[in-house]
Amino acid sequence: MTDYIKNLEWRYATKQYDSTKKISPEDLEMLKKALQLSASSYGLQPYKILIIENQEMRNKLFEASWNQSQVTDASHLIVFAIPNHITLQHIEEYMDNISKTREIPLESLAPFKEVIENTILPLPSEIQQTWAAKQTYIALGNLLSAAAHLQIDTTPMEGFNTKEYDKILQLDKQGLATTVIAAIGYRSENDTNQALKKVRKNQENLFINI
């Protein structure tokens, strides 16, 4: 646990990356596994995660990211996207996955399936999207912690044109919409922010004990 806290103290939102350093395939698989294991409401994981290494694609995304160099200079760019509409098919595919993974009859999951259907499907699309977007932020937090454990730098980012991202990545054609992105890689020695002390609320101002 001591190392875990030290790693969280070590990480910061990296502003300048060393474009010559790349994340190893082994470490990338670790990060993918951490994302795969992220918690989500009902376990539904109502999102897709794009892992973009292709430099040409990231160059296209650069202007849609307000010319932030992290998008092009980091080792990889992670893009979280949610469906425009959560449908019965999403739920049925999830039930099928549970049935196969746990080797239980699909019929036994009917009560659980009904709960999700009655909770999610009646919601207006914009409310569904808000709910799904929250799930991507849970996964994002898991990514930041896992990357810190591996001494990999990260930059969570909301400063980009979501519509342009959807167009460039052709997410709009797949019924998906970008919610949040994260650059991952290794900090440049020239990034002066790494020397700054981390600023957080003290525990007295942050926590309420009841």
How far is Cα 72 from Cα 59, in angstroms, rounded to an integer? 6
Q: What is the pLDDT of residues 64-103, one digit of tens each?
A: 999 999 999 999 999 999 999 999 999 999 999 999 999 9
The verdict on residue 64 lying in a domain is yes
Q: Which CATH number belongs to the domain containing residue 30 in this structure?
A: 3.40.109.10
The verdict on residue 94 lying in a domain is no
Identify the three-state secondary structure at position 80: strand
Instruction: Compute CA 15 distance to the chain's CA centroid, rounded to the nearest angstrom.
Output: 18
E strand spans, 73-209: 76-83, 153-157, 176-185
Q: What is the pLDDT of residues 47-58, one digit of tens each?
A: 999 999 999 999
The verdict on residue 16 lying in a domain is yes
Q: Is the pLDDT of residue 124 over 80?
A: yes
The verdict on residue 39 lying in a domain is yes
Strand partners, 185: 153
The pLDDT value given to residue 1: 62
Give the torsion through C-alpha atoms of 182, 185, 189, 190, to 10 deg: -30
How much is the average pLDDT of 133-162? 98
Q: Is the pLDDT of residue 190 over 90?
A: yes
Task: Tally the domains of the chain.
Answer: 1
Q: Which domain holds residue 142?
A: 2-86+121-190
The verdict on residue 69 lying in a domain is yes
Report the candidate in 113, 133, 143, 121 with the shortest Cα–Cα distance to residue 32: 143
The verdict on residue 96 lying in a domain is no
The verdict on residue 116 lying in a domain is no
Question: Which tokens is 118 given?
Answer: 């009655």
How far is Cα 162 from Cα 180, in angstroms, rounded to an integer? 9
The secondary structure element, H or E, covering residue 145 is helix 125-149
Report the candidate in 19, 26, 38, 33 with the shortest Cα–Cα distance to residue 76: 19
Q: What is the pLDDT of residues 7-27, one digit of tens each?
A: 999 999 999 999 999 999 999
Share of the chain above pLDDT 70, in %: 100
The verdict on residue 28 lying in a domain is yes
**Residue 7 burial (10 A CB sphere; 0-12, 13-18, 19+):** middle
